Chains A and B, each alone.
Chain A
């Protein structure tokens, strides 16, 4: 579903992402972990086609991001670190606009917007102006815009950052829902980045750890924690840093 081949990104002298490869199959939920500045956001931006890689390639749902960018981008729902919202628009109007940009056919647009509103718990605020919403609601609108066109691939950059514990639980539940098989068919494939370890333990069966632009761990969560070690220990060992301070944010 998602294939990254030898992805590299160079900013001047700095190699932000260094020959990063992985394959994610349909229906998987992958936790993309790493300390701040490890290259998570840069990698996600390359996966979504926002940034072109210096080297290597990306394939989304069988479409090469460089050769067939429109088809590849159509297959991706993306929640950037800051939700891309227009503060002066109302929630439903905004989602309708995104649905148009993402090529949802006219006849199905209303329905797509209603479904996204419902899944993200936004039906009650559908007519409210985005700028007047609380941070938690804005994050949900961000998530709704990522799923409004039912893309096979979801790429979420720190989807729960800045939310309160209840909201975090709701968003996690929603992400689990999105990936859960429906009628025996696997649904969305999800990559979510975070530096909150319990989040990964709660929703991601597979973990990819990035450190200084390089992939250092790529394994099922169950296998990583099989030896009785916690994810925290693994994270600390692989990145050579103390993670206690960062985990405090969770």
Chain B
């Protein structure tokens, strides 16, 4: 445990003395501001339109959670898909190019110490990003009254998705010596994981997979998007939480295997 925190804190320090962390934080803040503003403006325009047509019954169902926060958090989950691989790409690749993997692997550490330490650093960075994002719903609470439970569920969904990104990124950085390859590998893996449910939808539409076959069900379960959306709606279910745990766990298991295999080559 002591070793895990040593490795994680060194990793975070390195991130924050290099420009990478600041670049990611800045880009993230700019994009978040942009998308938040556009969601708010869109909401405003929608409400105006309803009033023009005097469709007051529609006004009943319009709310900040479904019309501002949901689309906003959905967009941010895609933004994170681009940014987090930028943070995780250096986790193991930098050790290999510095030659410091030789220090880590000849120190009295287990490989799990190293893997958890690296993941913990990335996870804490994700937490910082999500907390930063918490400012925006905060603004909504100041000027309006979104539902607190649903907002919390949305933030939790984003955090869990971010942790999945971090775990997959950790794995990608453990299998290569190149930061660029690590970046694209994690990006592609995450994109595929996110979009698998589309295959299920298309298959169902064309009749190739059917709607209720086990393949369609499997694709939907594996896809991050499905679980993210369900959580976002405020449905916190064990099966969804288990999904995130499962993906993070198996990514870290693969990372451990990858680090171990460098020894046997």
Contact = CB atoms under 8 A, between A and B. Distances in A.
Interface in A89-127: 89, 97-98, 100-103
A87 B98 contact: yes
A215 to B, nearest CB: 23
Given A98-B103, A102-B107, A145-B103, A50 B263 contact: yes
A80 B99 contact: yes
Q: Is the interface of A mostly helix, strand, loop or mixed?
A: loop
Given A52-B263, A71-B108, A73-B107, 12 more contacts: A48-B106, A70-B110, A73-B106, A83-B99, A84-B103, A85-B99, A86-B10, A88-B18, A89-B10, A97-B6, A101-B103, A101-B108
Given A70-B108, A71-B108, A86 B102 contact: no
A206 interface: no
Contacts of A69: 108
Contacts of B104: 101
Contacts of A98: 103, 107
A60 B108 CA distance: 13
Chain B interface size, as a band, is 20 to 34
Given A51-B263, A88-B17, A100-B2, A73 B108 contact: yes
Contacts of A88: 14, 17-18
Given A97-B10, A100-B6, A49 B106 contact: yes
A25 interface: no
Contacts of A85: 98-100
A82 interface: yes
Contact of B3 (A80, A84, A101): A101
A17 to B, nearest CB: 15
A109 B139 CA distance: 47
A89 B100 CA distance: 13
A50 B105 contact: yes
A83 B98 CA distance: 8
* Nearest 6 CB-CB pairings of A with B: A84-B103, A82-B99, A84-B100, A101-B107, A70-B108, A74-B108
B142 interface: no
Interface in B104-124: 104-110
A50 B17 CA distance: 29
A83 to B, nearest CB: 7
A82 B17 CA distance: 23
Contacts of A52: 263-264
24 contacts: A49-B106, A50-B102, A50-B105, A50-B263, A52-B264, A70-B108, A70-B109, A78-B102, A78-B106, A80-B99, A82-B99, A84-B99, A84-B100, A84-B103, A86-B10, A86-B100, A88-B14, A88-B17, A89-B14, A97-B10, A100-B3, A101-B6, A101-B108, A102-B108
A56 to B, nearest CB: 16
A16 interface: no
A45 B7 CA distance: 22
B14 A49 contact: no
Nearest to A155: B106
